[in-house]
């Protein structure tokens, strides 16, 4: 599935994350991450986001993540909500 | 028995996480008033993932779903099938909404009815007997006063009749009676006063809308140590007298009989549960 419009989910409160999905003209998944724990967990968060998007059948999007210390289940929930809002 | 039920908005990731370690006896994850209209689905997704992942230890987990006449009701109720959800809190409970719940949730789960409308109060006798899955009644003072079209005051005289009817029906049908939230979260003395008043009517527990209210609720519901001492002397004296065939006697100028013994015994049992030496 290709993301064709912009959608967003999550908040900037502690332990949460803002996920913004946008169309990607290049036709790939591009993940941009800002995180309070980028140094420690940046790679894992990006990998989790990619895996979650792929699990939902997404093949093309720009995924901006603004993370405030969200745990994995929160990241997954917010990505899922952003996808739902894109349908 | 749970003394406190803490509402946690299901849209708040941080509060869901911290609810694991809070002192409350039970948690009510709120999908209704605590969640903005445009966040309902996202809150449901977040809560489902939280339930899958987090360990809430020995706390009873309830979910307050949206009202039966909303588009969110069915999906909310289906989420309550999650094995970590102990029970459901049904808002604006009346016979119509309860019937909707029984049709949607199969098998049924323990249900606390949120009594917050004049119709709900009037239908209490039917609601209490509607199903063995009904385990408790929760008074909702804010919506109730709105339904009456009256101002909600700290004194609560406008909800007093409903408060008494709710506890009366809870006792008559052996259900848990849970008192309405105290909305001034800074006023701990006022909260304790209201908890003690509700307890004096027979309420078992109180809803908290902020984690800081939980300790005040527990403190206010604790048995007075002086009463434990008095209750123990009544229980000991009665149990000794009854072996000699004496069912009514005088203890320090007070007549003691079976009903007084039973009340004293309840105090002793509650004190033991609180960890007092008896």
Give pLDDT tens digits for B188-227: 999 999 999 999 999 999 999 999 999 999 999 988 888 8
Q: Please, are residues B64 and B7 in contact by the beta-carbon 8 Å criterion?
A: yes
Domain count, chain A: 1
The token duo for B69 is 């006449």
What are the percentages of helix, strand and coil residues in chain A, rounded to 5?
A: 35, 30, 35
The token duo for B100 is 């909707």
* A2 domain-assigned: no
Q: Please tell me the predicted confidence (pLDDT) of residue B272.
A: 86
Domain B4-221 has CATH 3.40.50.10860: no
* A11 domain-assigned: yes
Taking each helix axis from N to C end, the angle separating B188-201 and B212-221, rounded to the nearest 10 degrees, works out to 40
Q: Residues of chain B whose C-beta is under 8 A from some C-beta in A?
A: 12-14, 17, 41-42, 45-46, 48-50, 52-54
Question: Which residue range is the domain that position A14 belongs to?
Answer: 7-84
E-assigned strand segments in chain B: 4-9, 26-30, 60-64, 87-90, 111-115, 134-139, 176-179, 205-208, 249-251, 254-256
Sign for the CA dihedral angle at B205, B206, B207, B211 comes to negative
3-state secondary structure (DSSP) of residue A58: coil
* A27 domain-assigned: yes
How crowded is the C-beta side of A47, counted as CA atoms within 13 Å? 4
Q: How far is A15 from chain B (nearest CA, A)?
A: 5
Among B251, B195, B260, B58, smallest CA distance to B268 is for: B260
Among B32, B172, B156, smallest CA distance to B90 is for: B32
The token duo for B57 is 């230890």
Among A19, A20, A24, smallest CA distance to A3 is for: A24
Strands B249-251 and B254-256: antiparallel
CA distance B278 to B275: 9
Interface ipTM: 0.93
Contacts of A14 in chain B (CB under 8 A): 14
Average pLDDT, rounded, for chain B: 95
Alpha-helical runs (H) found in B54-94: 73-79
What is the pLDDT averaged over residues B20-28? 94
* A46 domain-assigned: yes
Q: Please tell me the predicted confidence (pLDDT) of residue B58.
A: 87
Q: Please tell me the predicted confidence (pLDDT) of residue B264.
A: 93
A9 contacts B14? CB cut-off 8 A: no
Q: pTM (2 decimals)?
A: 0.90
Q: Please tell me the predicted confidence (pLDDT) of residue B28.
A: 98
Residue of B nearest to A13 (CA): B14
Q: Please tell me the predicted confidence (pLDDT) of residue A48.
A: 98
Q: How far is B49 from chain A (nearest CA, A)?
A: 6
CATH number at residue A67: 3.30.230.10
Question: Exposed (0-12), middle (13-18) or buried (19+): which is B167, by Cβ within 10 Å?
Answer: buried
- Which among B14, B41, B53 has the least Cβ separation from residue A73? B53
Q: Determine the residue among B15, B34, B40, B42 to mutate to test chain A binding: the one whose Cβ has the most chain A Cβ atoms within 10 Å.
A: B42
What is the pLDDT confidence band of residue B248, given thresholds at 50, 70 and 90? very high
Say if residue B229's pLDDT is above 80. Answer: yes
What is the pLDDT confidence band of residue B231, given thresholds at 50, 70 and 90? very high
Please identify every stretch of chain A with a pLDDT value under 50, giving residue numbers as ranges: none
DSSP string for B208-219:
ESSTHHHHHHHH
CA distance B106 to B111: 13
DSSP string for B248-273:
SEEETTEEE-HHHHHHHHHHHHHHHH
E-assigned strand segments in chain A: 7-9, 17-22, 29-35, 61-67
User: Per-domain residue ranges for chain B?
Assistant: 4-221, 225-273
* A1 domain-assigned: no
């Amino acid at each position: 599935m290709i993301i064709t419009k912009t959608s967003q989910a999550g908040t900037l409160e502690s332990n949460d994350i803002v996920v913004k999905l946008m169309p990607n003209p290049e036709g790939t998944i591009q993940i941009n991450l800002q995180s309070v724990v980028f140094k420690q967990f940046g790679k894992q968060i990006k990998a989790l986001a990619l895996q979650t998007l792929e699990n939902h059948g997404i093949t093309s999007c720009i995924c901006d993540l603004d993370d405030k210390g969200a745990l994995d289940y929160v990241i997954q929930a917010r990505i899922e909500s952003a996808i739902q809002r894109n349908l | 028995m749970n003394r406190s039920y803490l509402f946690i908005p299901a849209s708040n990731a941080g509060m869901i996480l911290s609810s694991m370690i809070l002192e409350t006896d039970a948690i009510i994850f709120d999908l209704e008033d605590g969640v903005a209209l445009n966040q309902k689905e996202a809150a449901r997704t977040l809560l489902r993932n939280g339930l899958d992942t987090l360990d809430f230890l020995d706390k009873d987990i309830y979910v307050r779903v949206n009202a039966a006449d909303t588009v969110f009701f069915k999906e909310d109720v289906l989420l309550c099938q999650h094995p970590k959800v102990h029970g459901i809190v049904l808002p604006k409970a009346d016979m119509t909404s309860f019937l909707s719940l029984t049709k949607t949730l199969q098998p049924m789960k323990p249900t606390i009815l949120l009594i917050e409308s004049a119709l709900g109060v009037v239908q209490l006798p039917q609601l209490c007997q509607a199903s063995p899955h009904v385990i408790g009644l929760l008074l909702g003072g804010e919506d109730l006063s709105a339904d009456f079209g009256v101002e909600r005051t700290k004194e609560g005289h406008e909800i007093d009749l409903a408060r008494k009817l709710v506890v009366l029906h809870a006792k008559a049908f052996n259900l848990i009676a849970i008192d309405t939230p105290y909305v001034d979260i800074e006023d701990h003395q006022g909260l304790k006063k209201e908890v003690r008043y509700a307890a004096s009517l027979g309420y078992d527990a109180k809803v908290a809308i902020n984690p800081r209210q939980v300790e005040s609720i527990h403190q206010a519901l604790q048995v007075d140590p002086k009463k434990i001492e008095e209750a123990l002397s009544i229980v000991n004296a009665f149990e000794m007298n009854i072996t000699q065939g004496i069912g009514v006697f005088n203890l320090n100028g007070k007549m003691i009989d079976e009903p007084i013994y039973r009340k004293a015994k309840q105090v002793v049992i509650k004190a033991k549960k609180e960890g007092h030496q008896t």
